[in-house]
A = this chain, B = another copy of it.
Amino acid sequence: MTPVSPDKIKITDIARAANVSPGTVDRVLHGRGEVAEKTKKKVLSVIEKLGYKPNLLARSLATKKSFRFVSLLPEHRPGEYWESPEKGIDKAREEIRLYNVSVEKMYFDQFDAQSFVAASESLIAFKPDAALIAPMFRNDAVLLTERLLRNRIPCVYIDSNAEDEHYLSYFGQHSYQSGYVAARLTETGLPPGSEILMVRTIRISGTSNQIERREDGFSAYFRDKGLTDKYRLIRTKLSVDNDSDNRKELTAVFEKHRNIRAAVVFNSRAYQLADILNKLKIKNIKLIGYDLSGDNIARLKDGSISFLIAQRPEEQGYRGIMALCDRVVFNGEINRINYMPIDIIAKENVDYYETTPRANA
């Protein structure tokens, strides 16, 4: 509560030092043209010399611009994974509201590629100033981002990386490495000779490459460490919804492989496997899964799941939106690839895991 801070130079200081009017400084700052080359150079050199930094508060207050962002996520129900990224988006939205940024939320059905295409059309028609996208359908996502790019609309991907060149920035996990971590957790303390069950859930529209790369990383760990003789990797597939088929399949697998001591599920449905194993009375299986959905947390707490790997989904949404804001509103630079931490969650630390980015003023 002392007197106001000193030595902040402002546009009028620049103007005085450069012998021009504030209006001219403004034109130079915004590259609006209508300034003689000589004058422009003079002003720029003064700006440089005095180290002028615009007051973002005043700028936002004065500007009449507003910005419309769009997010495109899978539809979801309470407790499901996608609730978390959306929470992060909401938090960011609240924080940048004062900068005249609005965020319109759009959705698609994650089991229906056609719904993604339809949503893409709506998104394009909306003419947003920026977009945050969960590119679950690789090809359609690329088509969408190509069109956005053509209109100079920046685009951030979260969750899974489509590996094309059409997005501004990616916030998500390094899937391959997360598989490596899953393998490390699986191996720790596992008796030699054990068999390890790798579970893939069949999806209607094909497995995402995110899941595939988790599996790749997982397998690679055992190869890289020369553990392929010590352990044996068994693969099986489960259906998303057909419970009785799944039981039959697993019964057969465990019949055939008597030494399965660990199992890994590479999507967020580890709870499904936990439930089936419970029903089949198969015990003492070390189960590793992904993502902190409500169901997974419950199984983690009751001991059916040993470890879950998390990827700060809220932070993905939050930082994705903030990056777009930095870019569009403040003309900042954004890191292209932003890998999230690969968080290891056990029963003992799950209650203290909060992905929530801080709320600020």
Tell me which of A23-31, A55-63, A111-119 binds B.
A55-63
Collect the chain B residues with CB atoms within 8 Å of residue A60's CB: 57
- Is the pair B66, A330 in contact by a Cβ cutoff of 8 Å? no
Q: Please, how many angstroms separate the alpha-carbon atoms of A57 and B4 in the complex?
A: 16
Please encode chain A, from 34 to 65, with 1 for each CB lying within 8 Å of some chain B CB and 0 for all others: 00000000000000000000011110110011
- Is the pair A348, B66 in contact by a Cβ cutoff of 8 Å? no
Question: Shortest Cβ distance from A274 into chain B, in angstroms?
Answer: 18
Question: Shortest Cβ distance from A317 into chain B, in angstroms?
Answer: 12
Collect the chain B residues with CB atoms within 8 Å of residue A351's CB: 177
Q: Which of B5, B100, B129 is close to A4, meaning CB atoms less than 8 Å apart?
A: B100
- Is the pair A326, B360 in contact by a Cβ cutoff of 8 Å? yes
Q: How many chain-A residues does the 8 Å CB contact rule pick out?
A: 60
Q: Is A226 an interface residue (CB 8 A)?
A: no
- Is the pair A352, B174 in contact by a Cβ cutoff of 8 Å? yes
- Is the pair B68, A2 in contact by a Cβ cutoff of 8 Å? yes
Contacts A341-B354, A352-B342 given; indicate if A61 touches B66 (C-beta within 8 A): no
Q: Which of B56, B221, B339, B344 is close to A361, meaning CB atoms less than 8 Å apart?
A: B56
- Is the pair B1, A129 in contact by a Cβ cutoff of 8 Å? yes
Q: Which residue of B lies closest to A332 (CB)?
A: B361
Q: Which residue of B lies closest to A64 (CB)?
A: B4
Q: Which residue of B lies closest to A65 (CB)?
A: B1
Q: Please, how many angstroms separate the alpha-carbon atoms of A288 and B100 in the complex?
A: 49
Q: Please, how many angstroms separate the alpha-carbon atoms of A184 and B221 in the complex?
A: 23
Q: Is A205 an interface residue (CB 8 A)?
A: no
Q: Is A271 an interface residue (CB 8 A)?
A: no
- Is the pair A329, B361 in contact by a Cβ cutoff of 8 Å? yes
Q: Is A188 an interface residue (CB 8 A)?
A: yes
Q: Which of B66, B188, B189 is close to A2, meaning CB atoms less than 8 Å apart?
A: B66
Collect the chain B residues with CB atoms within 8 Å of residue A319's CB: 358
Question: Shortest Cβ distance from A185 into chain B, in angstroms?
Answer: 8
Question: Shortest Cβ distance from A226 into chain B, in angstroms?
Answer: 14
Q: Is A142 an interface residue (CB 8 A)?
A: no
Q: Please, how many angstroms separate the alpha-carbon atoms of A154 and B27 in the complex?
A: 44
Contacts A332-B361, A358-B319 given; indicate if A346 touches B184 (C-beta within 8 A): yes
Q: Is A254 an interface residue (CB 8 A)?
A: no
- Is the pair B322, A358 in contact by a Cβ cutoff of 8 Å? yes
- Which residues in chain A, 316-354, are within 8 Å of chain B measured between CB atoms? 318-319, 322, 325-326, 329-330, 332, 339-349, 351-354
Q: Which residue of B lies closest to A182 (CB)?
A: B348
Q: Please, how many angstroms separate the alpha-carbon atoms of A189 and B181 in the complex?
A: 16
Collect the chain B residues with CB atoms within 8 Å of residue A341's CB: 343, 349, 352-354
Contacts A56-B98, A60-B57, A358-B322 given; indicate if A66 touches B3 (C-beta within 8 A): yes
Q: Please, how many angstroms separate the alpha-carbon atoms of A249 and B351 in the complex?
A: 38
Q: Is A67 an interface residue (CB 8 A)?
A: yes
Q: Is A208 an interface residue (CB 8 A)?
A: no
5 A-B pairs whose Cβ atoms sit less than 8 Å apart in the complex: A183-B348, A322-B360, A341-B352, A341-B354, A342-B348
Known: A344-B346, A344-B349. 8 other contacts (CB 8 A): A1-B67, A2-B66, A56-B98, A58-B61, A173-B352, A181-B346, A189-B189, A342-B353
